[in-house]
Amino acid sequence: MFANKVKSSVKISVVVTFLIMIVVNALANILPINGQTTGEVSNSYPNLFAPAGVTFSIWGLIYLLLAAFTLYLLGFFQDYSDTIKANLLNKVGIVFSISSVANAAWIFSWHYNKIPLSMVLMLVILDCLIFINYLIKNERLTAKEKLFINVPFSVYFGWITVATIANATTLLVSIGWDGFGISEPTWAVIIIITGMLIGTLTMIINKDIAYGLVMLWAYAGIYIKHTSKSGFDGQYPAVIYTVIACMIIFILSEVYLLYYKRK
């Protein structure tokens, strides 16, 4: 284990806030908090953007990757030949700690149906991840650093991008927004296309394959929700066709990035 120069205060902050986030998210469904699981709250605000329940299993991967980052920041997975980017880790660690607190707070706001507050907290998490990915993008990383620093936050960023759109959709449902008289399927198509444009541009600008794979996974979840018997069972063909088209665009963008990186 390499004795790096990451500040002790940053290490403590990252570990404590990460554990708080993990415990709160676990208790959210074990207890559950306020007598309802995270999924049950989501289902109480039905909308056409929310993906199938199986899609949320990605949280397991996200927490595993963030745990790997936390251990790396503490000095694990490093050897004496490594040149530690302590300045980057200190900055990322501080912002990550803020995002972890916001994540835990989001759980309480969501479970207690404080949807406007949950939207604010989701934006805090999103802003933190945008900044973290900005910091990472400006660094030349080794393969190991990409694995333990870049990949965890690319995957997290990708999912929070989708989660922010879903949270905004839930907020509109919670306040009884009438959509200016436009039908719900039409708005769903608009939102899905908007999400695809945001995801594709972010993926290509950052040259981030992991981020794009998460977007593809999320849209696959929307497709499953709309085509499964337990979901909408094909009631909204325009939404289904739009999701398929967006998934194709994500795949083509991934192929482009793979080709670009091999040049």
Give residue limits of the domains in the chain.
8-261
**pTM of the complete model:** 0.95
- Residues of the chain with confidence (pLDDT) below 70: 1-4, 80-83, 263
Spatial separation of the C-alpha atoms in residues 51 and 121, rounded to whole Å: 21
pLDDT at 168: 98
Q: Do 111 and 32 touch, CB atoms closer than 8 A?
A: yes
Q: How far apart are CA 167 and CA 111, in angstroms?
A: 13
pLDDT at 2: 46
Provide the pLDDT for residue 1.
Answer: 45
What pLDDT does residue 250 have?
Answer: 99
Report pLDDT for 49.
98
Half-sphere exposure of 168 (CA within 13 A, CB side): 14
